[in-house]
Amino acid sequence: MPILPIDSGRYGSNEIRNIFEEEHRLRYQLDFEAQVASSQGKLNLIPKNASREISLIARSNKITINKIKELESISEHDTASIVQALSQYCSPSTRPWIHYGLTSNDVVDTSTSMQLKDAFEIIEPKISKLISLILNKAKRYSTLPSVGRTHGQHASIISFGLKFAVWANELSLHIERIEEGKKRFLLCKTLGVVGTGSLMGLRALAIQKDVAKSLGLYSVEAATQVIPRERLAEVQFIISLIGCTLDKIAIEIRNLQRTELGEVEEPFKKGQLGSSAVPVKRNPIKSERVSSLARILRSFSNVAQENVSLWHERDLSNSANERFTIPMGVILLDEMMNSMIKVIEGLTVNRQKILDNINKTKGRIYAEFILEALVKKGIPRMKAYDNIQRVAFQTLADDKNFKEAIIQDPSIGSNLNRNELRKIFDPNNHLAASTKIIDNVIKKAKVICRNYKLH
């Protein structure tokens, strides 16, 4: 019976959940045992016949998760149960060479790296797809002026497309982070009980290098019984940081969808219900889900950092929580990616509402540009600032039009002619370098995705 929403299939795609499913995890671990035996035989550390037999049995699918659980119920050791199961199927002459020179965490840590490698092969194309969708929006709305808000207040004019360009740029940097980090956290370890190479002696590093290359991983440079947990902390940080960016996007969409703003709206399919009590509600539930799950991802990053400080060559204080945080972090990130792709794909952008909102302050949003015009005419900055603020606050109190008040105020209106004011109060004149910035982001993101074969 499922307990967690992940178990019931509520969150994450089938392909990402399958990577961490217990039978599939066993296959990763057995594949590692097979590859170690193969490399040991190739480099003449163990007999070639034993090497072949171990590899054959480990990859034969004869060893099932039910068999491992049966053995573990007695031994209370999951990795030892794998070794026991292999021994039951291998000939007596081969048995001494099973798991030769290894320790449990060689299997655990390397199979985790194998899982992460496959998981990122699913996650990265989704990031690339989301970048592409967002860039299409950036380009489409590059010349659409809108309200730029700081502290929740109208501040100045922004290109609506620039919002999307900022998101796409950060997502492209996440791809770089993943790719650059792989050599640090997709690690293979075969160095035994305390990281010396143990029974393999001087050939230990050559064997580890060969195993790593065969599995598409990187050979750890130095380790204790476990791969240093700084590496997994980096993975969890990257995962949580991607989640933070998705949360940032989600929060902006949620804010812009508020009734008072109405600038965008999440897709709302036929038959969907927004509220069990209020028939008119169209809630941004996918964006809210992203924000909710992002909080969990951030907590996992903290746990991963706590795991760095283990006793001596290792203790088990990291082991239990990593069984949760690593698969859950990846699966929940996959869910967030899937949700945000759907949101951006079906996002409704209300052009007219965006333009209408510019006028909500009755012209006060143009104060920055009036200040600039007065300064250029030689008026001291703070004097101009004080006069603009005085008029602005008065029009707010009296609910008057700011442009008309500016014209009527002798300390300001006498310094600006009507043609200058017409240009100042046209939002299309204040997009500045927006289109160039957007074009630069598009070029950069395409290069990153192409370089890593994600286009």
Which active-site residues does the annotation give? 151, 275
Give DSSP secondary structure letters for 11-34: SS-HHHHHHHSHHHHHHHHHHHHH
| Whole-angstrom distance, CA of residue 5 vs CA of residue 292 | 14
Could you give the angle at which helices 204-215 and 104-140 cross, rounded to 10 degrees? 40
One-letter amino acid at 308 equals V
Could you give the angle at which helices 230-256 and 104-140 cross, rounded to 10 degrees? 30
| Whole-angstrom distance, CA of residue 200 vs CA of residue 46 | 10
Check if the beta carbon of residue 331 is closer than 8 Å to that of residue 20: yes
| Whole-angstrom distance, CA of residue 240 vs CA of residue 299 | 8
Question: Helix, strand, or coil here: 159?
Answer: strand
Question: Helix, strand, or coil here: 384?
Answer: helix
Question: Helix, strand, or coil here: 219?
Answer: strand
Among 343, 175, 133, 173, smallest CA distance to 251 is for: 343
The upper half-sphere exposure of residue 80, i.e. CA atoms within 13 Å in the direction of its Cβ, equals: 7
| Whole-angstrom distance, CA of residue 81 vs CA of residue 88 | 11
Among 333, 339, 409, 399, smallest CA distance to 370 is for: 409
State which H helix or E strand residue 348 sits in.
Answer: strand 348-349
Strands 264-265 and 348-349: antiparallel
Rg (C-alpha) for the chain, rounded Å, is 30
Structure tokens at 170: 């950060």
**259-264, long-range: CB < 8 A, 24+ apart:** 261/353, 261/357, 262/350, 262/353, 263/146, 263/349, 263/350, 263/353, 263/354, 263/357, 264/347, 264/348, 264/349, 264/350
| Whole-angstrom distance, CA of residue 26 vs CA of residue 18 | 12
Ramachandran area for residue 312 (φ above 0: left; ψ -120 to 50: alpha; else beta)? left
| Whole-angstrom distance, CA of residue 324 vs CA of residue 71 | 23
